[in-house]
Amino acid sequence: MPTRKSPVKPLWQCPNCGEKFTTANQWHFCGKFSLEALFSRSEPHVFAIFKKFAAMVQACGPVTIIPQKTRVTFQVRMRFVSLYPRKSSLVGGFVFARRHEHPKFHKIETFSPHNHLHHFRLESKADLDSDFQGWIAEAYSVGGQKHLAR
């Protein structure tokens, strides 16, 4: 009986910085960055929002948290959410396989039929409600590329 070929390819690893990507030779900045440096210009409550958000993501399963120069990304296989620290808030974006029309998303960019970036802003830990937990779980599934197996 023939085996079904998986639509999921092995990750490509940058030979210079070791970062892993779903696409070979993915354009990126090589470098090692820290959360401390990334949040150094933010008010303390912004890092508290980040910590709660990160805990909500980690409740979904294993995840790699990648601090970069201007943002922090979360990756299962692919990067499925990014957060950008500002002085008094976090702005971010979820990658979903479908569009969600909701007032908490102030902008939605569609890149392909199954690739929609939903922009949001977090100003306090109270913004991380049950809606956000559901969206985090859905984006986490996209990060694991579960939508490609359908």
Helix (H/G/I), strand (E/B), else coil: 95 = strand
How many domains, in total, are found in the chain?
1
Say yes or no to pLDDT of 128 above 80: yes
Indicate yes or no: pTM above 0.85: no
In a domain, 106, yes or no: yes
Mean pLDDT across the stretch 70-82? 92
% residues pLDDT > 90 (the chain): 63
In a domain, 5, yes or no: no
In a domain, 2, yes or no: no
In a domain, 89, yes or no: yes
Can you give the pLDDT at residue 71?
93
CATH number of the domain bearing residue 46: 3.30.1460
Q: What is the pLDDT of residues 25-60, one digit of tens each?
A: 555 566 788 999 999 999 999 999 999 999 999 999
Mean pLDDT across the stretch 79-92? 97
Range(s) of the domain holding residue 50: 32-149
15-53: string of b/e by CB count within 10 Å (b at 16+)? Answer: eeeebbbbeeeeeeeeeeeeeeebbeebeeebbebbebb
